[in-house]
Amino acid sequence: MSKVSELVKEARINAGLTQIEVVDQLSSIGIKITQSKLSRIESGTYKMPTEWLLPFAKIYGINPLNLFLTDSEINNLK
């Protein structure tokens, strides 16, 4: 599992969402994704397209940087 995949999964869990709920929300805004594909993103076997970053972050209620960096890593950038 890659760091990005771990952060994507952690963000979903912290948002209190199931994979199916995320898929439903993304599908409602026109992103073609299945639960299987989301599972593969979270396990690191499928690379998330960059155009999905903002929708994922919006659904999870986080800064898009949090899909790549931990809070402490973001704070070190300041």
pLDDT: is 10 or 1 the higher one?
10
pTM of the model: 0.87
Boundaries of every domain in the chain: 3-67
Residue-wise pLDDT for 28-73, tens only, equals 999 999 999 999 999 999 999 999 999 999 999 999 999 988 888 9
Tell which CATH architecture fits domain 3-67.
Orthogonal Bundle (1.10)
Q: 8 pLDDT band (50/70/90 cuts)?
A: very high
| 8 contact partners, CB below 8 Å, separation of at least 6 | 41, 42, 48, 56, 67
Distance (Å, whole) CA 56 – CA 28: 13
